[in-house]
Amino acid sequence: MAQFDYLIVGSGLFGAVFAHEAMRKGKKCLVIDKRKHPGGNVYCEQVDGINVHKYGAHIFHTNDKEIWEYVNQFVEFNRYTNSPVAFYKDEVYNLPFNMNTFQQLWGIKTPEEAKNKITEQVIASGIKEPKNLEEQAISLVGTDIYEKLIKGYTEKQWGRKATELPTFIIKRLPVRFTYDNNYFNDRYQGIPIGGYNKLIDGLLDGIEVRLQVDFFSQREELTKLADKIVFTGKIDEFYNYQFGNLEYRSLKFENKTLDQSNFQGNAVINYTDSKIPYTRIIEHKHFEFGTQNKTIITYEYPDEWSQGKESYYPINDSRNNAIYSQYKSLSEKETKVIFGGRLAEYKYYDMHQIIASALKKSKDYLNK
Ligand code: FAD
Ligand code: UDP
């Protein structure tokens, strides 16, 4: 008899939700994480009373009432609505692409004028069936917006030409012909009051968590500890990179504490000009309407990924997707290991999608 029913590798949202559901079914779980803290990329660090989103800004949003009610069991959410602003040279635009953006760019006032302007530019581009991010972006919003607000940001964010990137990345952003700066279309949105750690602590309450334990440094011993493993780390590493490395985009964060109460007047400002090396500046206090005398800002720099750096964004181009499908085929033959989460599924998932996926997988396996 193994000591635990489940060994859960990774205490991010996927691991924490799975562990919580397993515990509710009476299963004994051990969660390990190689980092010093639980929570994966949603972890926040409290500095001067401000929750600093240590691994990039996280805004929770979902259209699914069940997921919303699920997270609200553990923590209440505030009314934060993400409305980033874009700086291009000395021009300022509202995001996502909506009537405010179109008005600022073209001086037009009505949806009809905006639609005509975009249609004119799409026809002039000659694009009929978009095959890459550049063509997809121009088809959605025309060439002016593409050149000022998309091309520079996208190419520095991904370190690749927009013509070499998949279309789905740009389809994440709404395009609206109303004066509405809400970055998401979802019905529910907010930031946990008191920070994301409250959500993670609630999920992991009553479960043994061992930190600074890398699965691969004690693979054999750890594997023996449990009947089943839930693996949320990198799938290529799990299989010793036998089909090659999966590529990622990494990030570097530079934090500054400033002796002023309000630096930029918004939580998120995007810098869409290719000459500015960072993609966005985050001012963390605005996620929680903070009134502190100080403020903490983070410059987010895209970074070329290499072995040993944090793997933030999967690069779902054809090369990487082909490698991933080979690993996936191996994973489907496993009887003891369940794979889930952003790294194990090599997928650009948002938090609500990770929670939905962990709930579904836990239901499938725990009810077996
Ligand atoms: P992770 O959070 O990455 O957790 C995996 C955990 O496994 C980590 O703690 C890691 O240390 C651990 N681990 C890995 N390998 C091992 C090993 N070998 N041994 C032990 N432990 C291991 N989503 C939104 O909904 N809204 C947003 O605004 C948003 N913003 C984002 C901004 C950025 C910059 C990024 C990168 C992501 C953003 N996301 C956002 C997505 C969100 O972060 C993810 O959907 C979610 O956190 C993924 O959870 P996970 O459990 O799959 O992975
Ligand atoms: N994007 C852009 N300009 C912006 C914001 C986003 O071109 O001002 C593009 C870019 O390619 C980015 C994608 O839209 O990778 C998705 O943006 P999102 O804000 O959803 O990215 P995330 O917050 O996940 O980094």
Name the token pair of 321: 């997707």
- How far apart are the CA of 276 and the centre of ligand 1, in A? 26
Task: Answer yes or no: 342 catalytic.
Answer: no
- How far apart are the CA of 311 and the centre of ligand 1, in A? 9
Task: Answer yes or no: 172 catalytic.
Answer: yes
Residue 90, CA atoms < 13 Å, CB-side half-sphere: 0
pTM of the model: 0.97
Atom of ligand 1 nearest to the CA of 237: 18
Query: Cα(16)–Cα(44) distance, rounded to whole angstroms?
Result: 16
- How far apart are the CA of 39 and the centre of ligand 1, in A? 8
Q: Report residue 118: phi and psi, to 5°.
A: -65, -45
Task: Answer yes or no: 350 catalytic.
Answer: yes
Domain boundary assignment for the chain: 4-80+188-245+315-366, 85-170
For a ligand 1 pocket test, name from 217, 231, 307, 351 the mutation site with the most ligand atoms within 8 angstroms of its C-beta. Answer: 351
β-strand pairing of 91-94 with 295-304: unpaired
* Beta-carbon count within 10 A of 321 CB: 15
Q: What is the 3-state secondary structure (H, E, C) of the chain?
A: CCCEEEEEECCCHHHHHHHHHHHHCCCCEEEEECCCCCCHHHCEEEECCEEEECCCCCCEEECCHHHHHHHHCCCCECCCCCCCEEEECCEEEECCECHHHHHHHHCCCCHHHHHHHHHHHHHHHCCCCCCCHHHHHHHHHHHHHHHHHHHHHHHHHHCCCHHHCCCHHHHCCCECCCCCCCCCCCCEEECECCCHHHHHHHHHCCCEEEECCCHHHCHHHHHHCEEEEEECCCHHHHCCCCCCCCCEEEEEEEEEEECCCCCCCCCEEEECCCCCCCCEEEEHHHHHCCCCCCEEEEEEEEEECCCCCCCCEECCCHHHHHHHHHHHHHHHCCCCEEECCCCCCCCCCCHHHHHHHHHHHHHHHHCC
The whole-number mean pLDDT for each consecutive block of 10 residues of the chain, a chain of 368 residues, reads 96 98 98 98 96 98 98 98 98 98 98 98 97 97 98 96 95 96 98 97 98 98 98 98 96 98 98 98 98 98 94 93 98 97 97 98 91
Instruction: Kindly state if the Cβ of 272 falls inside 6 Å of ligand 2.
Output: yes
Task: Match domain 4-80+188-245+315-366 to its CATH number in 3.40.50.300, 3.40.50.720, 3.30.530.20, 1.20.1560.10.
Answer: 3.40.50.720
Q: Report residue 247: phi and psi, to 5°.
A: -95, 150
Between vectors from CA 162 to CA 173 and to CA 325, what angle results, nearest 5°? 85
Instruction: Kindly state if the Cβ of 15 falls inside 6 Å of ligand 1.
Output: yes
Task: Answer yes or no: 365 catalytic.
Answer: no
